[in-house]
């Protein structure tokens, strides 16, 4: 008997086999049962012949993409102040914008546009920074819960080096607000929206605040997200702020917030992480959120992703809206390849550029692993899938699935998403869905 | 009396005052008479009060953008083979694709999609490479003439180092075909589509072919477009091919095809042009077509645009489809800024990144100057204008015109073009036009 909660997407299926290799099945079936993947089949096996088939022949079916680092309250001001570097840009654009989220009416409008955008594209899971504001953060979580995406959202902690409107009055006040936020989240009993501890970065968090968050992390077992070694002046600043630490990562480590078996942690950027810091991240099992667009736009540089991969680090991609101007992870795939080429050509020819297959793996399996079993159609994985409309090129010649994926990554981006599933649940897309099949 | 051929666009007007500075007029009027600009006015002066006003209040009005380097026959295969460098990519993707243009049916379909795309976006003028094929090149010129854009199109010359299907049998055969093409162009008496001599690049053209083209240039006074110092292995190859020349630019110079008062010339790329080569380009009055997307995607590097600007070189932007995957010059503006940031951070901190204002100037006045008086709303300039829909950010706060332009460049690109004029003639846009006003 085939379960009523079982269906198959028929189409040209592309996913990552491993970090170097794409696994492609032309005119195949990606099968979902009760929200989980049963795998990809060239033909439906006998016991599945009766499942409902949703027909996307000629189009690409890929695993849902994972955005491992984004700031929802910066979505409204993306593409602005791009002639500045990180610390000046935070002061001139980001902090004033985040201060608006005290106003719930504003938050409702701006977060609605963020949530709508997340639904439209190819992203199915995301790690999201909110602001320090408790009510606005809950509102964002309500909207993301409704969106159908699986997200982890953090009320931001910051008790120093921030404008008055954003600086929490003390470490204790920041911790109390965090406890209150977590209590409200528990009451709401979201099914797909989870809290994540979110100290903004070392410059914004006193030693006492980080220590308190570490204690909270130990008792709650919540995951952690923050920023690491993004921009040169930030790195230099952290060295001055934390003379106790041998480096930026050690500042988190000394404060008990750098991974380990019971503290799943994502650190965004790691542009300036040297081999010593990278080894520490590996040892602590920390995920790196590579954010190529933001790191280019804020003149931070390009993270040595090739070296991280060689070392065996866990890496995903982040859009880092609004250091990055685009909420699209497909765009981030192209940009990761592009940035790695310039790093190779201009900075270090020892580190070969990323291939499209590698960048795509970061966007799927790489980030997906932070959510458990996600980012691929392996049996038992959460069934996250996106159908990308793929109109053949005018030559009419059959081109391979890898080339078709590359072509869509560079030319089409998220506007081509015509159907989308998160953990087996169909996410209604505005307009597009009707056009394709 | 106000001429019937006079109208004004009312909106928020942004253009380049000079290479560093944007000139912005909020709720102003850009006035056109008989295809030429009368200038920008905060209020309509008395003698113009009766002109027809096309109302785009709240939206941005900018000069039409100029694409100083693109390959029409590569449009169909954009976004493919991006894991290769230039010479391998030409062999694996570009040459096989260009060989298809022997087939006029294929050319008709593929060039139609290119021309349609050019109409949709914010580009109003372009320099276009076709292929070696005469009939297909004429067909492309017919389509571009119908499009309303002003273009210069080149039948490509190549008599060596190309696959049989693309290699013209001899220098003389290539020159004869070029003469035949020019005769056909004269017969067609296009009003806005002009021929440009197009030796592909030194590796594709024998010394005899270049010498013949130089003679043809002298008698016809036609402009010239080609490629220069794009990729390291190409530069090394040219050194081997042309031992007579002190460098790549000198190969063109020795062949009589490098600018000068009677030979307006655009050289695409110039990524590896050292100060000596740049001085030669300056001396010969050559325009540089800076193609940041292509130079990143083919791992060529980043041209030292800041050094070129400091020297006083003429520079515009090119999309270089399909080394570049995007036909949008607005996209190239953002990418020029991004590439310059990585060049600054990774290669040479002596050359400051480009600002948005500078990159925008390259895209308008910079490329426009190759067409004469184009790329701005100065009095007497050809009236090329694009209206970009600009919806205010959710904060509702008024932001300046420079910031609004930046925001659209990064987030909106060409999909926001809702009205478009070339030399005063309205170009009907598919769909969008109706939505804005």
B77-96 pLDDT per residue, tens: 899 999 899 999 999 999 99
Average pLDDT, integer, range A327-343: 97
pTM given for the model: 0.97
Count Cβ–Cβ pairs < 8 Å, chain A vs chain B: 127
* Minimal CA separation from A271 to chain B, in Å: 12
> Would an 8 Å CB–CB cutoff place B338 in contact with chain A?
yes
Q: What is the per-residue pLDDT for A2?
A: 60
Tell me the average pLDDT of chain B. Answer: 95
A266-292 pLDDT per residue, tens: 999 999 999 999 999 999 999 999 999
The β-bridge partners of A6 are A33
Within 8 A of A326 by CB-CB distance, chain B residues are: 410-411
Average pLDDT, integer, range B37-65: 97
Q: How far apart are CA B156 and CA A20, in angstroms?
A: 38
Average pLDDT, integer, range A206-212: 98
- Cross-chain Cβ contact B406/A100 below 8 Å: no
Residues of chain B with CATH 3.20.20.140: 65-371
Q: Are strands A385-388 and A417-422 parallel, antiparallel or unpaired?
A: antiparallel
- Cross-chain Cβ contact A297/B338 below 8 Å: yes
Q: What is the per-residue pLDDT for B416?
A: 86
* Minimal CA separation from A391 to chain B, in Å: 12
Within 8 A of B346 by CB-CB distance, chain A residues are: 301-302, 342-343, 346-347
CATH architecture, domain A65-371: Alpha-Beta Barrel (3.20)
**Is A434's pLDDT higher than 70?**
no
Suggest the residue from B82, B100, B414 to mutate for an interface test with chain A (most A CBs closer than 10 A).
B82
Q: How far apart are CA B294 and CA B282, in angstroms?
A: 23
Suggest the residue from A295, A395, A405 to mutate for an interface test with chain B (most B CBs closer than 10 A).
A395
B336-345 pLDDT per residue, tens: 999 999 999 9
Structure confidence at residue A95 as a pLDDT band (50, 70, 90): very high
8-state DSSP, A50: T
Q: What is the per-residue pLDDT for B436?
A: 45
Q: What is the per-residue pLDDT for A437?
A: 41
Of A417-431, B134-148, B270-284, B401-415, the range with the lowest mean pLDDT is B401-415
Within 8 A of B83 by CB-CB distance, chain A residues are: 337, 353, 355-356
Tell me the average pLDDT of chain A. Answer: 95
Report ipTM for this prediction. Answer: 0.96
Residue B227: in which H helix or E strand, if any?
strand B224-228
> Would an 8 Å CB–CB cutoff place B392 in contact with chain A?
no
> Would an 8 Å CB–CB cutoff place B83 in contact with chain A?
yes
Per-residue b or e along A365-380, where b marks 16 or more CB atoms closer than 10 Å to that residue's CB = bbbbbbbeebbbbbee
**Is A397's pLDDT higher than 80?**
no
Residues of chain B with CATH 2.30.40.10: 6-63+375-436
Residue A424 backbone zone (phi > 0: left; psi -120 to 50: alpha; other: beta) = left
Q: What is the per-residue pLDDT for A140?
A: 98
**Is A436's pLDDT higher than 70?**
no
Average pLDDT, integer, range A40-54: 96
Q: How far apart are CA B65 and CA B437, in angstroms?
A: 21
Using a pLDDT cut of 90, give the percent of chain A over it: 92
C-alpha A222, offset from chain centre: 17
- Cross-chain Cβ contact A80/B406 below 8 Å: yes
Q: How far apart are CA A223 and CA A201, in angstroms?
A: 15
Within 8 A of B343 by CB-CB distance, chain A residues are: 342, 346
Question: Which B residues 294-313 touch A at CB under 8 Å?
Answer: 296-297, 299-302
Angle, CA of A315, A147 and B331, to the nearest 5°: 60
Of A82, A110, A407, the CB nearest to B410: A82
Within 8 A of B344 by CB-CB distance, chain A residues are: 299
Q: What is the per-residue pLDDT for A415?
A: 77
Residue-by-residue DSSP string for A104-134: HHHHHHHHHHHHHHHHHSSEEEEEEE--S-H
Spell out the CATH class of B6-63+375-436: mainly beta
* Minimal CA separation from A274 to chain B, in Å: 15
For helices A329-346 and B329-346, angle between their N-to-C axes, nearest 10 degrees: 40
> Would an 8 Å CB–CB cutoff place A402 in contact with chain B?
no
Provide the strand spans (E) within B75-186: 123-129, 150-154, 156-157
- Cross-chain Cβ contact B411/A326 below 8 Å: yes
Average pLDDT, integer, range A423-433: 82
> Would an 8 Å CB–CB cutoff place B351 in contact with chain A?
no
Q: What is the per-residue pLDDT for A398?
A: 80
B338-366 pLDDT per residue, tens: 999 999 999 999 999 999 999 999 999 99
- Closest among B94, B78, B72 to B142, alpha carbons compared: B72
Average pLDDT, integer, range A101-122: 95
B171-190 pLDDT per residue, tens: 999 999 999 999 999 999 99
Structure confidence at residue A430 as a pLDDT band (50, 70, 90): confident
User: Looking at chain B, which residue has its C-alpha nearest residue A96?
Assistant: B395
* Minimal CA separation from A299 to chain B, in Å: 5
Instruction: Quickly count: other Cβ atoms within 10 Å of residue A163's Cβ.
Output: 12
**Is B419's pLDDT higher than 80?**
yes
Q: How far apart are CA A223 and CA A287, in angstroms?
A: 11
């Amino acid at each position: 008997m085939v379960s009523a909660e079982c269906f198959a997407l028929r189409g040209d299926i592309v996913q990552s086999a491993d970090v170097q290799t794409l696994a492609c099945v032309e005119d195949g079936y990606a099968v979902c049962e009760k929200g989980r993947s049963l795998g990809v089949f060239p033909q439906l096996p006998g016991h599945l012949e009766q499942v409902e088939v949703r027909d996307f022949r000629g189009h690409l079916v890929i695993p849902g993409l994972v955005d491992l680092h984004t700031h929802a309250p910066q979505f409204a001001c993306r593409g602005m102040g791009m002639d500045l570097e990180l610390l000046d840009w935070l002061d001139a654009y980001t902090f004033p914008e985040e201060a608006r989220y005290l106003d719930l009416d504003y938050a409702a409008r701006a977060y609605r546009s963020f949530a709508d955008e997340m639904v439209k594209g190819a992203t199915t899971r995301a790690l999201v920074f909110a602001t320090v504001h408790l009510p606005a953060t809950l509102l964002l979580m309500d909207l993301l819960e409704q969106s159908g995406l699986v997200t982890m959202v953090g009320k931001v902690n910051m008790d120093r080096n921030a404008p008055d409107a954003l600086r929490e009055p003390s470490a204790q006040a920041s911790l109390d607000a965090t406890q209150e936020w977590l209590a409200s989240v528990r009451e709401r009993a979201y099914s797909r929206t989870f809290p994540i501890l979110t100290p903004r970065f070392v410059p914004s968090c006193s030693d006492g605040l980080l220590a308190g968050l570490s204690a909270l992390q130990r008792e709650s077992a919540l995951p952690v997200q923050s920023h690491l070694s993004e921009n040169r002046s930030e790195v230099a600043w952290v060295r001055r702020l934390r003379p106790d630490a041998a480096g930026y990562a050690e500042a988190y480590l000394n404060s008990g917030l750098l991974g380990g078996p019971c503290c799943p942690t994502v650190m965004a950027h790691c542009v300036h992480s040297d081999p010593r810091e990278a080894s520490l991240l590996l040892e602590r099992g920390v995920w790196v959120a590579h954010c190529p667009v933001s790191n280019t736009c804020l003149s931070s540089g390009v993270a040595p992703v090739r070296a991280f991969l060689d070392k065996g680090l866990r890496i995903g991609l982040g859009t880092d809206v609004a250091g990055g101007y685009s909420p699209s992870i497909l765009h981030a795939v192209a940009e990761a390849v592009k940035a790695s080429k310039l790093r190779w050509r201009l900075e270090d020819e020892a580190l070969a550029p990323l291939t499209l297959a590698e960048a795509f793996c970061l966007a799927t399996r790489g980030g997906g692993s932070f959510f458990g079993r996600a980012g691929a159609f392996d049996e038992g994985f959460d069934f996250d899938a996106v159908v990308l409309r793929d109109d053949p090129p005018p030559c009419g010649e059959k081109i391979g699935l890898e080339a078709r994926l590359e072509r869509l990554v560079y030319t089409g981006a998220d506007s081509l998403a015509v159907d989308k599933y998160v953990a087996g649940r169909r996410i209604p897309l505005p307009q597009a869905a009707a056009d394709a099949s």
